[in-house]
Amino acid sequence: MSGDDARVASTTPAAVVAERLRITEIFHSIQGEADAIGWRTVFVRLTGCPLRCVWCDTEYSFYGGDWHAIEDILAEVASHGAGHVCVTGGEPLAQKRCLILLQKLCDAGYEVSLETSGALDVSAVDPRVHKVMDLKAPDSGESRRNLWSNLDCLLPHDQIKIVIASRGDYEWACSMLAEHALADRCMVLFSPVHGAVQPRELAEWIIADRLPVRFQMQLHKLLWNDAAGH
Ligand code: SF4
């Protein structure tokens, strides 16, 4: 083996690992929420999340998954012929190489969105990506994890999502709206927790209080009752 060959042999495994992500699923569906709602979208669901929200509906993404080379992920995304790609989880930013995937998806010309918990630093996310960033309300059990400095990383095309499980959560969300001037930063979405708050009740609170927020229900739950793969 030449000196060069030896260097390749010793560096290739690390280089390959550096380009891989642990993936729970990749699927083609309709975007069920946020500003790209209704668009045919390829979802790339990364495995793992350091949070444990009480009402989490993707617990199956916490463990397991398979390692995929980023180039293979790009090829699978392309095979579905959709213009929109949503990188989600779990918490996708828990895998640092997610940033590479996001950049490559943008370079390939997709409209890219990132669903993130708001607990991890978003400052290095490609600015072309539409971030849909949660602020965790008290009933999630994870409110202390909100990384408030992330608010200063949001761009006008990003969105803040607050999932509301009770009147107490709603009042907290109203306080945050005022205290952090959330609606001046980007679109703010209020979404009811399925089975915890009646959607109509939340809609009526928003109307009564004349809030500058966008009410949303998850379209995929209405269409497919939240079955995996949609
Ligand atoms: S951050 Fe998202 S994936 Fe993680 S526990 Fe909360 S809802 Fe579930």
Give the model's confidence band at 195: pLDDT under 50 very low, under 70 low, under 90 confident, else very high: confident
pLDDT value for 8? 41
Q: What is the CA radius of gyration of the chain?
A: 19
The structural domains of the chain, with segments of one domain joined by +, span 22-224
Give the model's confidence band at 5: pLDDT under 50 very low, under 70 low, under 90 confident, else very high: very low
pLDDT digits (tens, 9 = 90+) for 30-50: 999 999 999 999 999 999 999
Distance CA 13, CA 77 (A): 25
Which of the listed residues 46, 52, 53 should we mutate to test ligand 1's pocket, taking the one with most ligand atoms within 8 A of CB? 53
- Secondary structure of 154-220 as H, E, C letters: CCCCCEEEEEECCHHHHHHHHHHHHHCCHHHHCEEEEEECCCCCCHHHHHHHHHHCCCCCEECCCHH
pLDDT value for 12? 47
Give the model's confidence band at 18: pLDDT under 50 very low, under 70 low, under 90 confident, else very high: low
Contact assessment for residue 71 and residue 77, using Cβ atoms and an 8 Å cutoff = no
Contact assessment for residue 165 and residue 196, using Cβ atoms and an 8 Å cutoff = yes
pLDDT digits (tens, 9 = 90+) for 106-159: 999 999 999 999 999 999 999 999 999 999 999 999 999 999 999 999 999 999
The answer to pTM > 0.95 is no
In terms of pLDDT, which residue wins out, 228 or 88? 88
Does domain 22-224 correspond to CATH entry 3.20.20.70? Answer: yes
Residue range 157-171: average pLDDT?
Answer: 98
Q: Quote the ligand 1 centre to 3 CA distance (angstroms).
A: 48
Phi, psi (deg, nearest 5) at residue 75: -65, -40
- Find out whether the beta carbon of 56 lies less than 6 Å from any atom of ligand 1: yes
Residue range 162-183: average pLDDT?
Answer: 98
Distance CA 200, CA 213 (A): 15
